[in-house]
Amino acid sequence: MSDLTTRILDFMARPSYTPVKPKILAKRLAVGEEEYPTFRKLVRALIREGRIVTGKGNELKALDPLGTVVGTFRRSHSGHVFVRPHTPTPETGPEIKIRSGRSSDASTGDEVMVRIARRASKTGQASGDIVRILTRATRTFVGTYFERDGQAYVRVDGTVFAHSVWVGDPGVKGAQPQEKVVIEMLRFPTVDERGEGVITEILGPLGKPGVDTLSIIRGFGLPEEFPPAALAEARAQADAFREDDLAGRTDFTADTVITIDPQDARDFDDAVSVTMDPQTRHWILTVHIADVSHFAPLGGPLDAEARKRATSIYLPGQVIPMFPEIISNGLASLQQGKLRYVKTVRMEFTPGLQKGHVSFFNAAIRVRQRFAYEEIGAVLKQLEAGEPSALAPDILALIRRMRDLALLLRKKRFQRGALELTMPEAVLEYDTQGKVTGAHFAEHDLSHQIIEEFMLAANEAVAEHFSRREVPFLRRVHPAPNEEKLVAFAQFAELLGHRLDRPDNRFALQKLLFATADKPERAALHYALLRSLKQASYSPIQDEHYALASQHYCHFTSPIRRYPDLQVHRLLDRWIQTGKASADLAELVALGDHCSKMERRAQTAERELVKLKLLQYLSTRIGEKLDAVITGVADYGFFAQAEQFPAEGLVHISSLTDDFYQFDGDAHSLFASRSGKRFRLGDRVRVIVARVDVQRRMLDFRLASEPPLTAPTTRPIERKSPRLAAPTDPQPHQKPKSGTKPRKKPKLKKKKGKKGKKKR
């Protein structure tokens, strides 16, 4: 903001200011003749931005004496609306609450302009009003078609809109009641008016196999078919590839190299080898990453489509790849026994784990053997028990070295202050027809940790290499949290019996995470810390990765499924070939923003489909009893997470009929007026699946000893993304599994509302 703009707004914000014409305002501001044209341009710009308006006689009035802010609009499940500023300030805080009835027709994800009505302070958050919708997140929505009083409507999935949307005459496009449809929004709903849309596609009847997945794909605007030009280029690359062509590549085909991936993995982008120098006793870790850049030249059709998608999307039972399968599952995939091109990082570690010489290569390998995590887990148990193995002696020796080095690297990482949040993922279970028959939490054992440590080491090595040479590259950054957030977390932890004297000390946080990893309060505490941390993203601007305690970090190890990794590969390729590399900083900033946005879209879509399938399964299990832990408390009830099943639901306060319960926000509990009984965060309870609302993505529990609910009070099964966003990358290199997705945890913010009434 220019000095003159600040003078204009500050003057108009004075209580004594009365509307005047531009010329009079210029005189009062002592604007000279030379400066007057600039003054006029700034006034017109402020009018266009909605920060000042003209009244009768062209008099200027200030609408936003506290300023305007641009950010992303969000509507919570409780009905409250917020805007997250793109650039938070002390005046705005991390979120601006939008005053009741002042949200215009904004929808979740829209980029909006907010007029600040109240600054953030120690006693409350900032509040404001939406003055303009700058960019719509989408105009396409998925919902359920129905008819009423001779009119046709669509009830949009989830809680995006409070009311159904009018879509015209009944039977439009042949739609039948209770069918899932796609609509294009013509007029967005407001607080006072119902929206209007047009049906563009009929997906099929509710409950029909595949309709749920198609609904998520359409609802999030996920890509499907590849353009013909991209497919043609992929086929041309396949025709040109020869396994005997090693020109310009270092030959590692004689090395003992293995892959470790999920059982149902379809693409393999990393392979590893570990040796030990017999003279120096130094560890030699060699990480080979699929050289996708060889098959997708910069600027070509394959590159253009991969850049647009930015990431592969792992939905339950289906993958939407970043590259066509001829590349992702064929040419670039490090398949057992096949010669494949790779980018290789060779790292030397002393017995004390000091990093020595690091080398980079354009190379070729031939994977000796492919393993699934479960297979490696079984081998590790055999090694621990001293039992014989059917594996070849050199493979078994390699696995032993991998285990030993990974444990040392892991120990060193925690010694420098890395944090590990225990956030189990949901794994769906299917029958032979693809129907969900159950779910459980995924394991994250030593077999996963071995690969995770090696990928972390390779990513750091590449980032450190470019940082030392001052070459701009796309980093994976995770800024340090705000001190106020950590202080609030410490107060929360103390309520659960865990004193944290120095919340700004990462070792104190680490100790708390380790101490609660297997405790009932784990879910509440670990998620509370996650909510206190900032979101990880891609950026060329140097910043640390707080959770990993790493000053220089990037994503390099998954170029088949992440475009940022591919960008780093290309930079490394130029350095390997010429000894020089460079990149345009502004272009990297734009690319980082795009990839971060696409990553969050993919993660949200994955979680929503897992949630949807879990709810569909639970809708057939009404009355089933589950042992659970209280993970969130509000004035309308408490949320409980099942201990052995990845589902979280609400026990509404109206179902607690044995007494009159009140909310104690400071203690995060509900307490009974007469008996003194309490339901506190972290308490174990036994609950019954009481009600499921699949369309609104909501689940109700009731206590096993209480009578059934008598009114519909469904609440969301999940409320906030915990990882793979991993806003914090708590397990940044756990490979995606088909049907394995992260679950959400509850919000910890107190919700306000009338006692005993459900907030919507």
> Residue 257 corresponds to which amino acid?
V
Residue 525 predicted with pLDDT over 80: yes
pLDDT of residue 317: 85
**Distance in angstroms (rounded) separating the CA atoms of residues 740 and 735:** 10
**Distance in angstroms (rounded) separating the CA atoms of residues 648 and 719:** 9
pLDDT of residue 522: 83
pLDDT of residue 74: 87
> Tens of pLDDT along 355-377?
999 999 999 999 999 999 999 99
Task: Give a yes or no: residue 613 inside a domain.
Answer: no
> Tens of pLDDT along 241-264?
999 999 999 999 999 999 999 988
Residues 294 and 372 in one domain: yes
Torsion angles phi and psi, residue 460, rounded to 5: -65, -40
Residues 301 and 410 in one domain: yes
Most distant CA atoms of the chain, gap in Å: 94
Residues 662 and 563 in one domain: no
The predicted model gives 101-122 an average pLDDT of 84
Q: Which domain holds residue 510?
A: 481-533
Give how far Cα 279 sits from Cα of 276, 350, 680, Å.
Answer: 9, 12, 59
CATH number, domain containing residue 202: 2.40.50.700
Count of Cβ atoms closer than 10 Å to residue 666 Cβ: 8
Residues 214 and 320 in one domain: no
Residue 396 predicted with pLDDT over 50: yes
pLDDT of residue 51: 67
The predicted model gives 281-285 an average pLDDT of 97
Task: Give a yes or no: residue 671 inside a domain.
Answer: yes
The predicted model gives 615-637 an average pLDDT of 91
The predicted model gives 158-171 an average pLDDT of 85
Residue 322 predicted with pLDDT over 50: yes
Task: Give a yes or no: residue 748 inside a domain.
Answer: no
Task: Give a yes or no: residue 24 inside a domain.
Answer: yes
225-232 own/partner pairs: CB under 8 Å, 24+ apart: 226/305, 226/324, 227/301, 227/305, 229/301, 230/301, 230/302, 230/304, 230/305, 230/324, 231/324, 231/326, 232/301
CA dihedral (137, 140, 143, 148) positive or negative: positive
The predicted model gives 2-24 an average pLDDT of 77
Q: Which of 1-15, 622-636, 686-700 has the lowest mean pLDDT?
A: 1-15
The size of the chain, in residues, is 760
Domain boundary among 188, 219, 250: 219
Domain boundary among 112, 135, 158: 135
Residue 721 predicted with pLDDT over 60: no
User: Pairing mode, if any, of strands 52-54 and 60-62?
Assistant: antiparallel
CATH number, domain containing residue 35: 1.10.10
Instruction: Report which of residues 534 and 458 the model is more confident about.
Output: 458
Compute the chain's Rg from CA coordinates. 28
CA dihedral (222, 227, 233, 235) positive or negative: positive
pLDDT of residue 751: 40
- Look up residue 632 and give its two tokens: 């969130």
Residues 485 and 461 in one domain: no
Q: Could you tell me the pLDDT band of residue 77, with boundaries at 50, 70 and 90? A: low
Residue 759 predicted with pLDDT over 60: no
Going by C-beta distance under 8 Å and a sequence separation of 6 or more, which residues neighbour residue 470? none
Of 221, 161, 224, give the one whose Cα is nearest residue 197: 161
Residue 708 predicted with pLDDT over 60: no
Give how far Cα 750 sits from Cα of 562, 663, 667, Å.
Answer: 37, 10, 11
Domain count, the chain: 6
pLDDT of residue 475: 97
pLDDT of residue 80: 79
Residue 735 predicted with pLDDT over 70: no
DSSP H or E segment with residue 305 = helix 301-309
Task: Give a yes or no: residue 549 inside a domain.
Answer: no
Task: Give a yes or no: residue 177 inside a domain.
Answer: yes
> Tens of pLDDT along 573-623?
999 999 999 999 989 999 999 999 999 999 999 999 999 999 999 999 999
How is 481-514 classified by DSSP, letter by letter?
PPHHHHHHHHHHHHHTT---S-TT-HHHHHHHHH
| pTM of the predicted protein model | 0.82
pLDDT of residue 724: 29
Residue 192 predicted with pLDDT over 70: yes
Q: Could you tell me the pLDDT band of residue 731, with boundaries at 50, 70 and 90? A: low
**Distance in angstroms (rounded) separating the CA atoms of residues 523 and 108:** 27
Task: Give a yes or no: residue 26 inside a domain.
Answer: yes
Of 210, 216, 207, 205, give the one whose Cα is nearest residue 177: 205
Residues 182 and 258 in one domain: no
Residues 408 and 308 in one domain: yes
Domain boundary among 135, 150, 176: 135
> Tens of pLDDT along 290-321?
999 999 999 999 999 999 999 999 999 899 99
Residue 76 predicted with pLDDT over 80: no
Torsion angles phi and psi, residue 505, rounded to 5: -95, 115
Residues 585 and 659 in one domain: no
Residue 710 predicted with pLDDT over 50: no
**Distance in angstroms (rounded) separating the CA atoms of residues 514 and 630:** 20
The predicted model gives 536-542 an average pLDDT of 94
Residues 583 and 690 in one domain: no
Residues 498 and 627 in one domain: no
Q: Could you tell me the pLDDT band of residue 729, with boundaries at 50, 70 and 90? A: low
Instruction: Report which of residues 74 and 472 the model is more confident about.
Output: 472
Q: Could you tell me the pLDDT band of residue 760, with boundaries at 50, 70 and 90? A: very low
Give how far Cα 460 sits from Cα of 457, 486, 544, Å.
Answer: 5, 27, 11
**Distance in angstroms (rounded) separating the CA atoms of residues 287 and 735:** 16
Share of the chain above pLDDT 90, in %: 57
Residues 160 and 209 in one domain: yes
Q: Which of 10-19, 263-272, 484-493 has the lowest mean pLDDT?
A: 10-19
Residues 570 and 516 in one domain: no
The predicted model gives 338-363 an average pLDDT of 96
The predicted model gives 643-672 an average pLDDT of 90
pLDDT of residue 741: 36
How is 368-436 classified by DSSP, letter by letter?
SEEEEHHHHHHHHHHHHHT---SS-HHHHHHHHHHHHHHHHHHHHHHHTT------PEEEEEE-TTS-E
pLDDT of residue 347: 98
> Residue 116 corresponds to which amino acid?
I
The predicted model gives 11-31 an average pLDDT of 83
CATH number, domain containing residue 131: 2.40.50.140
The predicted model gives 480-508 an average pLDDT of 88
Q: Could you tell me the pLDDT band of residue 709, with boundaries at 50, 70 and 90? A: very low
Task: Give a yes or no: residue 757 inside a domain.
Answer: no
Give how far Cα 23 sits from Cα of 30, 43, 55, 61, 459, Å.
Answer: 11, 11, 15, 14, 60
Residue 743 predicted with pLDDT over 50: no
**Distance in angstroms (rounded) separating the CA atoms of residues 724 and 464:** 24
> Tens of pLDDT along 665-700?
878 889 999 998 999 888 889 999 999 999 888 999
Residue 566 predicted with pLDDT over 90: yes
